[in-house]
Structure 1
C-alpha cells in the first residue's frame, strides 16, 4: 500500500496523525503502523521487548486496531500512542516533544532520539530499572569548564541521582526494583532542558 507521507511540517505526532487520517480509507494492518512509526520516529517498535503480558508490539497494535473496528471508531493516533505507552512503556508523545531538544534517548536496546550535536544522553538499562545521564562527545568538544556547573549538579543530586566522577555521569536505580516511572523521567528531562536553556545555552 502506498500513501503519500508529508514530512515537511509539524511535530512527529502531528505527522503521524496526518498520515493516519490520509490512510483512513485504506485497509491498514499492524505492519503498516510499524513502518509508519519507523518512518516518523526512527524507532523500530517491532523490535521492542515483549510487554509484561507477553505480547509483541505487532500483537498490541493489531488488538488496538481490532478494537477500533469492533466499536466502529476511527483509528486514533493519540489512542494508539497511549496503548503503546501503557503496554510497552514507549511514550511517543514525550519523544515527539523532545525533537530538537539536543537530548539523546537510548532505551529498550535502541536509540529513540539521537542527533550528532546533542549534548546529553539519557540511557535506561534493562527493564528500565535504572537510568544514567551523561554528556555526549560533542558536549566535551564544546564545553570549556573543568567540571559540570554546580547548579546542574545540585539539581540532579536533589532529584536522587548519584554522580560518577570517572564518567561524569549521573546514575539512578529505582529502589523498588521496578521500572523508573514516567514522572521521574519527566523531572529528569525538565532539569536537562533547564540546564540546556541556561548554563549550557552557549554550547
Structure 2
C-alpha cells in the first residue's frame, strides 16, 4: 500500500466531518509531516488570517477556511490538493518518491528520508531556493562527495550553480517574494531520479 492509499484508508474511516485537526493527525501518522509548523504559502488565504495567530493556529485556520469553501468537493484527492495549495507540499508526489533513494527536506522538516538514500533535495522555508547534495551514505559508498557529472550538467542546464560555501548545487528564484514553481521542482526531481537510476549502485 502506498502512502497515498494509506492516507485514503485513514480518511475514509473518519466518522462525521473531516476537520483540519483530523487531517493534520492523518498526514503526520502516514507521512510523518507536521502541517502545523508549515508556513502558509497561499497568499489569498494568508491575508484572511489574523497575524496574531500562532503558526499552529494559522495552519488549521487556513485549512478550515478552505474546507468551508470547498465542502462539496472535499474528497481524499481534494484534501491533498488543498495541502498542496496551502503549504506547497505535494503528498501525491512524495508518495511516488517513496523508495527512490531521495531525501527531501522542505519548510523546516524532513518530508522523505531513509538511511540508504543517495541524494538530498532541500527547499527553503518560503520555497524560493533549492539545493541538491549527496548524502553521507552516497559519499561513504562511492568515495566521492560530489554529485554525478550527468546530474551536475542537468542541474546547470536548469539554472543551478555550484556554491562552494555550502558545497551544493544551488538555485534561488528571482524577483520579490517569488517561489520556485512546481514545474521547476518536478524537473529537478526528474534529473535527480535519472542520475540515481544511472548509478547502478548495489549499495
Output the CA distance in 2 between the equivalents of 1:159 and 1:189. 11
Q: Counterparts in 2 of 1:33-72, with a 5 A limit?
A: 33-51=23-41, 52=43, 53-54=45-46, 55=49, 56-67=58-69, 69=71, 71=72
**1:185 has 2:185 as partner:** yes
Stretch of structure 1 that moved more, 121-130 or 40-49: 121-130
Q: 1:166 to 1:18 in 2, by over 3 A?
A: same
TM-score normalized with structure 2 length: 0.84
Q: How far did residue 154 of structure 1 move?
A: 1.1
Structure 2 unmatched ranges of 5 or more: 50-57
Supply the RMSD in Å over aligned alpha carbons.
2.1
Output the CA distance in 1 between the equivalents of 2:191 and 2:33. 25
Stretch of structure 1 that moved more, 179-188 or 99-108: 99-108
Deviations 1:34-91 (A, max 9, x none): 111000010000111134332422123323443455x3x6x41110111121122111
Q: Secondary structure at the match of 2:174?
A: coil
Structure 1 unmatched ranges of 5 or more: 1-9
Residues 132, 172 of structure 1: 8 Å contact kept: yes
Output the CA distance in 2 between the equivalents of 1:77 and 1:27. 13
Output the CA distance in 2 between the equivalents of 1:155 and 1:201. 20
Q: How far did residue 29 of structure 1 move?
A: 2.5
TM-score normalized with structure 1 length: 0.84
Could you tell me which residue of structure 2 aligns to residue 18 of structure 1?
9
Q: 1:149 to 1:32 in 2, by over 3 A?
A: closer
Q: How far did residue 99 of structure 1 move?
A: 1.1
Residues 134, 147 of structure 2: 8 Å contact kept: no
Residues 105, 113 of structure 1: 8 Å contact kept: yes
Q: Secondary structure at the match of 1:126?
A: coil
Deviations 1:122-167 (A, max 9, x none): 1112311111111111111111357543222211111111013465
Output the CA distance in 1 between the equivalents of 2:145 and 2:37. 40
Q: 1:152 to 1:68 in 2, by over 3 A?
A: closer
**1:140 has 2:146 as partner:** no
Output the CA distance in 2 between the equivalents of 1:166 and 1:202. 31
Stretch of structure 1 that moved more, 179-188 or 48-57: 48-57
Q: 1:87 to 1:167 in 2, by over 3 A?
A: closer
Q: 1:148 to 1:123 in 2, by over 3 A?
A: closer
Could you tell me which residue of structure 2 aligns to residue 99 of structure 1?
98
